[in-house]
Amino acid sequence: MLSKKWRREFPLHLMILPGLILILIYSYVPLFGLTLAFQKFLPGRPFFENPWVGFDHFKYVWDMPNSLRVLWNTIYIAGFKIMLGQIVPITIALLLNEIRKGWLKRGVQTLIYLPHFLSWIILGGILIDILSPSQGIVNQIVKAFGFEPIYFLGDNRWFPITIVLSDVWKEFGFNTIVYLAALTGVNPSLYEAAVIDGANRWKQTLNITLPSILPIVILLATLSLGNVLNAGFDQVFNLYSPSVYESGDIIDTLVFRVGLEEAQYSVATAIGLFKSFVSFIMISLSYFLAYRLANYRIF
């Protein structure tokens, strides 16, 4: 029996072998480099001959004048991305679910889904042109109504809002598909019974649709907690400038500047290790909550 099962499942194990090898090479082997956070990096010396400094780099990072501000910016931006990244797709999915013309529904889905496939290098250039205070179409409209132009990417008050809204615009189409798939699993007989009882579309949405997809909503919301320190390096790096470091500098951009521009590799590794440690805790918490609230289990 065991031999027959092994012969049946062996090709499946071979199929996942390349993926496991890639994960081993690019995700686990580099973990040895984390020891750099506890060493003083000296170029030219063998890696394990660098002097050990304990937690000095972590203390240095904590004493940096902008460390708390960067941490707050990261949590603030990532938190609003997570929150709006749930609310907007659910709302759009509910609205699309009410469209009865198939061609219109598919057309809207395609249009809102397209930005997901564009990189932030492309979208960053587009946003810089659109939001330009002098020539951008958005500020042309603002000035047409008699208001002063807004420096969306150069004003600390507007930059976090711009980052959050542009990220939601880029990704809500992709997330909407998940909720549309969940809506297809709602039992149609429930709606038929509701119509007989005199419930309108709004009552059907409140009492049937939303409760039916609530487990999926809870699952995706809890799993997104693992990204609480991922505010989006690609997006912020392509849109920010020194004038908005106060409100737009996040952990990943700080690591980039400290590690690659200032060549403080040990300090950058310490920051990255701190972020990974917190993310590990949040991911563990999110899976625990997903199991408790939505009965979600990997195995």
The 10s digit of each residue's pLDDT in 132-171 is: 888 889 989 988 888 888 899 888 999 999 999 999 999 8
Q: How far is it, in rounded angstroms, from Cα 275 to Cα 287? A: 18
pTM for this structure? 0.83
Q: Is the CB of residue 144 less than 8 Å from the CB of residue 58?
A: no
Q: Is residue 131 located within the same domain as residue 69?
A: yes
Residue 290 pLDDT? 75
Q: How many domains does the chain have?
A: 2
Percent of the chain past pLDDT 70, that is, above it, reads: 97
To the nearest 10°, the Cα dihedral for 83, 88, 90, 95?
Answer: 160
CATH number at residue 96: 1.10.3720.10
Is 90 domain-assigned? yes
Q: Is residue 149 located within the same domain as residue 229?
A: yes
Q: Is residue 70 located within the same domain as residue 158?
A: yes
Residue 296 pLDDT? 66
Q: What range does the domain containing 99 cover?
A: 64-294
Q: Is residue 71 located within the same domain as residue 180?
A: yes
Q: Is residue 50 located within the same domain as residue 98?
A: no
> By mean pLDDT, which of 40-49, 58-67, 118-127, 143-152 is the weakest?
40-49
- Confidence band for 80, pLDDT divided at 50, 70 and 90: very high
Residue 1 pLDDT? 53
Neighbours of 66 (CB within 10 A): 12
Is 127 domain-assigned? yes
Is 59 domain-assigned? no
Q: Is the CB of residue 264 less than 8 Å from the CB of residue 64?
A: no
Q: Is residue 21 located within the same domain as residue 93?
A: no
In the chain, which ranges are continuous DSSP H helix? 2-23, 56-63, 67-97, 102-113, 120-130, 137-144, 159-183, 188-196, 201-204, 210-223, 233-239, 245-248, 251-256, 265-294
Is 299 domain-assigned? no
Residue 298 pLDDT? 58
Is 83 domain-assigned? yes
Residue 279 pLDDT? 82
Task: Name the average pLDDT for the chain.
Answer: 85
Q: Is residue 43 located within the same domain as residue 144?
A: no
- Write the pLDDT tens digit of every residue in 254-298: 888 888 888 888 888 888 888 888 888 888 887 787 777 767 665
Q: Is residue 1 located within the same domain as residue 43?
A: yes
pLDDT at 66 over 60: yes
What integer is the mean pLDDT of 128-133?
90
Is 140 domain-assigned? yes
Chain-centroid distance of CA 85 in Å reads: 9
pLDDT at 299 over 70: no
Q: Is residue 39 located within the same domain as residue 142?
A: no
Q: Is residue 16 located within the same domain as residue 132?
A: no
Q: Is residue 90 located within the same domain as residue 32?
A: no
